[in-house]
Amino acid sequence: MSEFLNLLAAGLTSGAIYGIFGACLAVWFRVCNVLNLAVGDFAMLGAIGTAYLAQTDHFPFLAAIVVDLLAVGAVAWIFDRLVLHFAFDRGSGGHGIVSVFFYTFGLSLILEGGARAIFGTDVYGAPAIWSGPALAIADFHVQRAGVLVIALAIISGLALWAYLRFTVSGRAASACGESVLGSRIVGIDSALFRRRMLIVTAVLAALFGVVESPLTGFTYQSGPTISLIGVVAAGFAAFRKPGRAVAAGLVIGVAEAMLGGYVSTSYNDVLLYAVLFGIIILRPEVLGLSPETA
Amino acid sequence: MPANPAPALEIEGVSVSYGKFVAVESVTLSVGAGECVAVIGPNGHGKSSMVTAVAGLVRRGGTVRVFGETLPAGSPGAAVRAGLVLVPERRHLYPDLSTRDNIMLGSYSRTRRLLARQAWEDVSDVLDMFPELARLLEQKAGTLSGGQQQMVALARAMAAKPRILLLDEPCLGLAEAVARRVYDWLGAMTETDMTILLVEENPVHALLVADRAVRIYKGLVEQPGVAA
């Protein structure tokens, strides 16, 4: 029983990591139909930047987090103004499949190169926000950072879900992804929604990087792996439903942990993609896809 | 409608270009308050470009005034806030959102509500004009028939509480019976104080409801006319 509970704790922790990055990807894709392949790099900047400020520049920890999150938000804003604005709002390159991933893939490479130049190749981990020994209930042990990761993922997923489902602003954000022209007709500024949502998800990813880094550590190369994990979790949520992405991430994490614990870790990736393909082919409506469009 | 109504919509020297192609050369047109003016002419001669430019959706030259207020070019939000609302060709609904959300978002520029439920309560009276939409409120707009989608597009526009309505080919692709219903509704609108600029390829349709018509040919207003 204790093995099961500890696998469950490990699975929920890694699943929360899948889920939150999937949620960040899904909510921005919903607004502007662009995959944010730099979401993992924003997390990397959050983790490494905070660790660097706190440990090398001796900033107070809270101040390091605030400064770093502001810097990440500024990077997202600058990227939108310098690249996405011209690509999408001026009609210079906002059409076609290339725009779905090309610009953010380029941003990912730039952030990775910049991080290497500034922070070097060391492994960084921000100080733990909630330090202390692992929490234990009988034979069930979970790291405090893991509890924070799971809590932040669930709270963020619920907040994004509630925003999109219940607020006028959330419905307007969804309308931007459905029809840019249709949204502009009623006075919705689709560029503003794209920019705001990019900044919010970049800062959220960075905050998650800070919370997660005591568990996993970060290098300048951590971003693409995280982004790929996020793409898979977002895929389980049809790239549009952040709440479902968090739920899907948690389920995937637990399934992976159980499979790894009771069978073999070799089958983790196989399981992940087999389930995704199976759903797309057999039950596309589960992902919000109609059989015709799946 | 008064004999010489004060101008509600003044379009002066409006031009639209797509690269080197000049779609609208220099259109000048005035629509009186409460008047319904049809813009007719063959396809591809600038009718739709003209109304989308007036609504702020494409870059333009020239001046557009709504009840004396000059609209900034390229600002659809300013146009909607001034009371000028477009029902576009091919509708441009949000297919994955419900009918209710599609209609509710028509009020986006004037609502100060936080919650979608509250915003809907403010606009739900548009169902009085389109009662057949009441049973379709939870259905995704993309699954509606063409005629139902056109009704949603009209309801979305009316949720904005427009003073001037721009309609671009409202019957394009609709069955004759559905088109007749759209024109019945438009006819009822002309009995109110609503100002309407109607783009229509089919002059027979247009002159059913319009007070007068202008013809756009090769990007220019060719000739003024008076409905029979």
Residue B29 makes CB contacts below 8 A (sequence gap 6+) with B9, B10, B11, B37, B39, B214, B221
Q: What is the pTM of this model?
A: 0.89
Average pLDDT of span B197-226: 81
pLDDT in tens, B74-105: 899 999 999 999 999 989 999 999 999 999 99
CA dihedral of B161, B167, B170, B172, whole degrees rounded to 10: -150
CA distance B58 to chain A (A): 10
pLDDT computed for residue B228 by the predictor: 43
Question: Among partner residues A168, A169, A187, which is closest to B81 by beta-carbon distance?
Answer: A187
pLDDT in tens, A6-40: 888 889 998 999 899 999 999 999 999 999 999 99
ipTM summary value: 0.89
CB contact (8 A) between residue A186 and residue B111: no
pLDDT in tens, A139-196: 778 889 999 999 999 999 999 999 999 999 999 999 999 999 999 999 999 999 999 9
Between A128 and A81, name the one with better pLDDT: A81
- Residue B39 three-state SS: strand
Q: Report CA Rg, chain A.
A: 19
- Residue B75 three-state SS: coil
CB contact (8 A) between residue A184 and residue B117: no
Question: Could you tell me if B77 lies within 8 Å of chain A, comparing CB atoms?
Answer: yes
Residue B90 makes CB contacts below 8 A (sequence gap 6+) with B172, B173
Give the orientation angle of helix A39-55 with respect to helix A190-216, to 10 degrees: 60
What count of CB pairs under 8 Å joins A to B? 84
CB contact (8 A) between residue B101 and residue A182: no
pLDDT at B70 over 80: yes
Name the closest residue on chain B to residue A175, using Cα atoms. Answer: B94
Angstrom distance (rounded) from CA A93 to CA A104? 13
The helix (H) or strand (E) run that includes residue B25 is strand B21-32
In chain B, what percentage of residues exceed pLDDT 70?
95
**What's domain B7-83+162-226's superfamily in CATH?**
P-loop containing nucleotide triphosphate hydrolases (3.40.50.300)
- Residue B70 three-state SS: strand
Rounded to 5 degrees, what are φ and ψ at B84? -105, 115
Question: What are the domain boundaries of chain B?
Answer: 7-83+162-226, 92-151
AA identity, residue A115: A
Domains of chain A (ranges plus CATH)? 2-287 (1.10.3470)
B-proximal residues of A, 214-253, CB under 8 Å: 240
Angstrom distance (rounded) from CA B210 to CA B212? 5
Average pLDDT of span A89-105: 75
Question: Could you tell me if A31 lies within 8 Å of chain B, comparing CB atoms?
Answer: no
Q: What is the mean pLDDT of chain B?
A: 89
pLDDT computed for residue A294 by the predictor: 35
